[in-house]
Structure 1
Amino acid sequence: LKLSGRTKDGLGIGVLNAVTEKTFATIKNTESGETRQVIVEPLTNYNVLVLDQRFRKNSSVTFINTNVTRNSHAKDANVTGLAWDLNTKANTYSLYGNVKYSMINDIQDKNGVYSTIGLAETSGNYRYSIGSDFVTKDYDPNDLGINFYTNYYNFYGNANYRILNPTKRFNTFRINYNMYTEFNKESGKLQDNSVNANLNLTTVKNNYYGTGITFYPLETYDYYEPRAANRYVAIPRRIDTWGSISTNYNHKFAIDLNGTFNVFDQSDRLTYGFDIGPRYRFSDKLLLNYFFSYIRKNNNKGYIDQIDSDNNATTPNDIIFANRNVITYSNTLGGKYAVNSAMTINLAVRQYWSYADNKDILILDSNGDLNPYPQYTNNKNSSFYSWNADLSYSWWFAPGSQLSALYRNNAANFERVIDKDYRHNVAGLLNNDALKHIFSISVKYFIDYNAVKNKVRKRA
């Protein structure tokens, strides 16, 4: 069920409700051959409610609630939020923010809070904004939403200059300066700290150019990469740079170019990569584009395992990292053919390969440092590659109404042995029994309530 609209007094109302049936999984005992069915998701109701009140033509206060209710004694979840966007009469300043409260009813209940507040100047060539977020450890909207990062508070600011109208040289021009600082809410340790400046502009010939640099002047602490409670790894100081060019898409041939180079305050540790994306418009009906991406991380430090150091489950596990080189390739081919103004055929093919070649094994100390650990001998090299191909047809047969047909095939594989033969990897995926084929058709028909009401009145 979906209901949306706005009253003459400016109250927006949105309701979205869905019910999913009880879902089972079949579990087979590989020794006895016996099978049994287990409920993996009970009968469940999902509901979203939004009430948005506009006032003074440019401000609003919004109430939001998401709720997941499961049958029987399974987990229930609820998130309630209040958001505001308050602007001065001339739209020169804005005060914005929100407060959200999550509740999880499960074997062990937990409640959490997410709040943010910000102030911004929103007019003129020179503008700025400042703000802060506060998120508790148990804030969890993931039953009907997504949020992976909690337990922190931060402060941030931005100052920028832009042109409001085209000049003799530029259609757009903007310089940004950003600052960001983040702390772990419980320990107070610094999780992120950066100073950034970037430039983005479009010339009168509709060519785009961009560049930026980000300084991380202080050592920070990552509480997520160790994948264990109350453990962290130290992240060294670094400098990240990037550049980007995109030529005029109005021309038959255009190209996108991007490059990155990041240097760490750690021996021989750096990251670099580039993207190249040519595109060619054969006619007003046919467009093809290709995109290649390459990223290399030298001496990257990443989690690979946990081991019980003394076979005692009550003591913290030893957390194992690897000093490794990580290389990633991605090829994407896209195309669009417009049969007419209402019908299109679209093609999207993507091949992806990323592997991590471990050089040295490291153990994480309690202070976040990494030290050699040669006694660990398990093979934790990794190679992941995937293939996706989509061919779709869309027909807008009436205003707001669409028929879509899709054919998709995809495959993926993960190995501990790194085979650096690029062609062999791609061919192995396409010839793999894991290649899946999907065909689907969907029809959406839009009913205009006002048009139907007027027709009924005329007949009456």
Structure 2
Amino acid sequence: MTINTYATIRDSVTNIERKELTQPFTNYNVLVFDKNLKNNSYASIINTNLSRFEDEYYANVTGTELSLFNKKKTYQVFAKGALSQIWDNVPNPELGFYSHLNFSKTSGQFRFSLNNRIESDTYNPNDMGFQRRNNEISSRLRFSYNIFKPFWRLLSMYNNISFGYSQLYKPKVYTSSFISLNSFMRFKNQYSWGFYLGLDPYETHDYFEPRVDGRFYIEPISQRLYTWMSTDDRKKLMLDIELGLSFPNSYNQISYEINLEPSWRPDDGLLVCCETNFENSINDIGYVDNTEMADTIYFGRRNRVDIENTIETRYIFNENMSLNLKLRHYWSTVKYNQYYTLNMDGTLTDENEFRGTDDINFNYFTIDLGFRWIFAPGSELSLVWKNSIFTYTDEIVENYFNNLQKTLDSPQTNSISLRILYYIDYLYFKKKS
């Protein structure tokens, strides 16, 4: 439960202050039932509920999950579903649903899986969960062939090929399809290497990027290639490297990505990880703006650069106590080159009269320091300090360190949270009585 939260608002002219209710008293509830079944199967039910009595807003999501294996554990049927209900100061709730069905062969060198996911256009679990978007139906078929016994210079090898098809839930129209090939190899010296090849064989009809119901943007056929390598993770010094390349077949688009993650583990208690991710998207196409009546939608061709640096340190005092420190800086710049109008058939037309939008220089810097203590079986205490800095301007700073210094000089937000979770064993009290 959270009590009423107020913000103090000051008039910059009269200097008069007033308090504004930003979030009324809110009650959160989570209820879970779980049952283990034979053959390593299980069934569960979960219900989440949020209630804000002040503005008569109530959100309830009920979900269930079922996993069934045959006696030899060679095949699995997995089913998952949920129903969302939202009352927003209305007598009747808005209903939405989600379903996920999967059938797979789970043993042997040759395996396969077939799954289908449906999210209705009104399904919304975001009051106590997270969903990027709804209104989607997706199906996937995957075949894999794995080698578990050592041969040649390899300890093991995993390979799979996947086929996917997606459409909107409402209306039932095509959105995208893909074919992918994935391979992972672990060598006898404990190094590993893998690659991914992806192809969108048909144009993608993106109904979400235009931000207007019923409108879509046609993305061209595209190809993707990723490869990665990891050193022996038993050593004190480790290194992960990932390289990626994507090239859609229009507007001279190309995107490449480099990820480096060295790690140092001098003993069982201390681990230090550093990660750098650099992604450069040249001639990226995306939404910019639309007119007030949404009859004209503007797109832009831009160069986008994303840089993310993370340093994480973890120290384990003993089996019950640990300390974790994480510093993260995310920097994204967007520079526009050309503007277009979106046609009704999903194509683009050059736009020369649109005044355009400002370039973007976005920064997000965070520090998280957390202490965790397991003081009883299933029970823990966690103390967390968070520091965050957020900046958003239209002035692109070319030098990374100058940009970082400007970010650190910006206003900061600090918070401290304490959480105590205590596990109550019903059987313990029953035995006592």
Q: TM-score, normalised by structure 2?
A: 0.90
- With over 3 angstroms needed to count, the CA separation of the structure-2 counterparts of 1:337 and 1:49, relative to structure 1, is closer
Q: Tell me if the contact between 1:304 and 1:380 (Cα under 8 Å) persists in the aligned partners.
A: no
Tell me what 2:61 maps to.
Answer: 79
Q: Tell me if the contact between 1:168 and 1:204 (Cα under 8 Å) persists in the aligned partners.
A: no
* Deviation (angstroms), 1:351: 2.0
Q: Is 1:121 the equivalent of 2:110?
A: no
Matches within 5 A, 1:82-121: 82-107=64-89, 109-121=93-105
- With over 3 angstroms needed to count, the CA separation of the structure-2 counterparts of 1:343 and 1:88, relative to structure 1, is closer
Task: Write the deviation string for residues 175-224 of structure 1: whole angstroms up to 9, x where unpaired.
Answer: 01111100122343322200011001222222121101011000011111
Where does structure 2 lack aligned partners over 5 or more consecutive residues?
none
* Deviation (angstroms), 1:449: 6.4
* Deviation (angstroms), 1:260: 0.3
What amino acid sits opposite 1:412 in the alignment?
F
* Deviation (angstroms), 1:237: 0.7
* Deviation (angstroms), 1:49: 2.4
* Deviation (angstroms), 1:61: 3.3
Equivalent-residue separation in structure 2 for 1:152 and 1:388 (angstroms): 33
What amino acid sits opposite 1:202 in the alignment?
R
Equivalent of 2:412 in 435, 445, 452: 435
RMSD: 2.6
* Deviation (angstroms), 1:295: 0.3
- With over 3 angstroms needed to count, the CA separation of the structure-2 counterparts of 1:267 and 1:351, relative to structure 1, is same
- With over 3 angstroms needed to count, the CA separation of the structure-2 counterparts of 1:20 and 1:306, relative to structure 1, is same
* Deviation (angstroms), 1:73: 4.6
Q: Tell me if the contact between 2:288 and 2:357 (Cα under 8 Å) persists in the aligned partners.
A: no
Tell me what 1:145 maps to.
Answer: 129
- With over 3 angstroms needed to count, the CA separation of the structure-2 counterparts of 1:166 and 1:402, relative to structure 1, is farther
Percent identity (aligned): 28
Task: Write the deviation string for residues 61-111 of structure 1: whole angstroms up to 9, x where unpaired.
Answer: 333322223214522122223332222121122222233222211256421
What amino acid sits opposite 2:101 in the alignment?
I
- With over 3 angstroms needed to count, the CA separation of the structure-2 counterparts of 1:188 and 1:265, relative to structure 1, is farther
What amino acid sits opposite 1:244 in the alignment?
W
Q: Tell me if the contact between 1:234 and 1:368 (Cα under 8 Å) persists in the aligned partners.
A: yes
Q: Is 1:227 the equivalent of 2:211?
A: yes
Tell me what 1:12 maps to.
Answer: none
- With over 3 angstroms needed to count, the CA separation of the structure-2 counterparts of 1:105 and 1:269, relative to structure 1, is same
- With over 3 angstroms needed to count, the CA separation of the structure-2 counterparts of 1:99 and 1:330, relative to structure 1, is closer
- With over 3 angstroms needed to count, the CA separation of the structure-2 counterparts of 1:394 and 1:148, relative to structure 1, is closer
Task: Write the deviation string for residues 352-395 of structure 1: whole angstroms up to 9, x where unpaired.
Answer: 21100100111112221122112122442101012223344455
Tell me what 1:197 maps to.
Answer: 181
What amino acid sits opposite 1:419 in the alignment?
V
- With over 3 angstroms needed to count, the CA separation of the structure-2 counterparts of 1:406 and 1:72, relative to structure 1, is closer
Q: Is 1:25 the equivalent of 2:2?
A: no
What amino acid sits opposite 1:40 in the alignment?
T
* Deviation (angstroms), 1:242: 0.2
Equivalent-residue separation in structure 2 for 1:287 and 1:50 (angstroms): 34
What amino acid sits opposite 1:298 in the alignment?
I
Tell me what 1:62 maps to.
Answer: 44
Tell me what 2:366 maps to.
Answer: 388
Task: Write the deviation string for residues 268-324 of structure 1: whole angstroms up to 9, x where unpaired.
Answer: 10110111122233444443332211100010011122223xxxxxx4342222100
Equivalent of 1:290 in 274, 288, 298: 274
Give the paired residue count.
431
Equivalent-residue separation in structure 1 for 2:426 and 2:80 (angstroms): 33
Q: What secondary structure sits across from 1:423 in the alignment? A: helix
Equivalent-residue separation in structure 1 for 2:371 and 2:362 (angstroms): 30
Q: What secondary structure sits across from 2:294 in the alignment? A: coil
- With over 3 angstroms needed to count, the CA separation of the structure-2 counterparts of 1:21 and 1:87, relative to structure 1, is same
Q: Is 1:171 the equivalent of 2:149?
A: no
Equivalent-residue separation in structure 2 for 1:78 and 1:444 (angstroms): 23
Farther off after superposition, 296-305 or 130-139: 130-139
What amino acid sits opposite 1:125 in the alignment?
Q
Q: Tell me if the contact between 1:379 and 1:416 (Cα under 8 Å) persists in the aligned partners.
A: no
* Deviation (angstroms), 1:229: 1.7
Equivalent-residue separation in structure 2 for 1:47 and 1:398 (angstroms): 23
Equivalent-residue separation in structure 2 for 1:97 and 1:300 (angstroms): 38
Tell me what 2:332 maps to.
Answer: 354
* Deviation (angstroms), 1:35: 4.2
Equivalent of 2:393 in 415, 420, 435: 415
Q: Tell me if the contact between 1:42 and 1:74 (Cα under 8 Å) persists in the aligned partners.
A: no
Where does structure 1 lack aligned partners over 5 or more consecutive residues?
1-18, 309-314
Equivalent-residue separation in structure 1 for 2:430 and 2:94 (angstroms): 48
Tell me what 1:305 maps to.
Answer: 289
- With over 3 angstroms needed to count, the CA separation of the structure-2 counterparts of 1:43 and 1:403, relative to structure 1, is closer
Tell me what 1:9 maps to.
Answer: none
Q: Is 1:265 the equivalent of 2:249?
A: yes
Task: Write the deviation string for residues 319-364 of structure 1: whole angstroms up to 9, x where unpaired.
Answer: 2221000001122222334455555443322222110010011111
Q: What secondary structure sits across from 2:407 in the alignment? A: helix
Q: Tell me if the contact between 2:148 and 2:155 (Cα under 8 Å) persists in the aligned partners.
A: no
Task: Write the deviation string for residues 404-459 of structure 1: whole angstroms up to 9, x where unpaired.
Answer: 55444331211111111221111112222x133445555666666666777x68xx
Q: Is 1:157 the equivalent of 2:135?
A: no
Equivalent-residue separation in structure 2 for 1:340 and 1:56 (angstroms): 36
- With over 3 angstroms needed to count, the CA separation of the structure-2 counterparts of 1:399 and 1:386, relative to structure 1, is same
Farther off after superposition, 383-392 or 434-443: 434-443
Task: Write the deviation string for residues 202-260 of structure 1: whole angstroms up to 9, x where unpaired.
Answer: 22222121101011000011111111222211111100110000101211222110000
